[in-house]
Amino acid sequence: MDPSRGAGSPAPRACDYGGAMRPIIGITSYVVPATWGVWQNLPSTLVPHDYVEAVTLAGGRAILLPPDDRDADVLRALDGLVLAGGPDVDPALYGAAPHPATEFRAERDAGEMLLLRAALDAGLPLLAVCRGMQLLAVAAGGSLHQHLPETLGHERHRPAPGVYGEHEATFTPGSRIADLMGADRAIHCFHHQGVADAGSLTVTGRADDGTPEAVEDPNGGFVLGVQWHPEYRRDQRLFGALVDAARTRMKENGTACADR
In single-letter form, the type of residue at position 161 comes to P
Whether 189 is a known active-site residue: answer no
SS (H, E, C) the chain: CCCCCCCCCCCCCCCCCCCCCCCEEEEECEEEEEEECCEEEEEEEECCHHHHHHHHHCCCEEEEECCCCCCCHHHHHCCEEEECCCCECCHHHHCCCCCCCCCECHHHHHHHHHHHHHHHHHCCCEEEECHHHHHHHHHCCCEEECCHHHHHCCCCCCCECCECEEEEEEECCCCHHHHHHCCCCEEEECCCCEEEECCCCEEEEEECCCCEEEEECCCCCCEEEECCCHHHHCCHHHHHHHHHHHHHHHHHHCCCCCCC
Name the active-site residue from 112, 130, 189, 216: 130
Helices 236-253 + 49-57 axis angle, to 10: 60
Output the CA–CA distances (angstroms, integers) from residue 194 to 96, 141, 184, 213, 241, in the order listed.
14, 15, 22, 9, 24
Let me know if 231 is a catalytic residue.
yes
Catalytic residue among 157, 191, 192, 229: 229
Catalytic residue among 107, 157, 231, 252: 231
Pairing state between β 143-145 and 61-65: unpaired
The C-alpha atoms of residue 88 and residue 106 are separated, in whole angstroms, by 10
Catalytic annotation present for 157: no
Q: Provide the annotated active-site residues.
A: 130, 229, 231
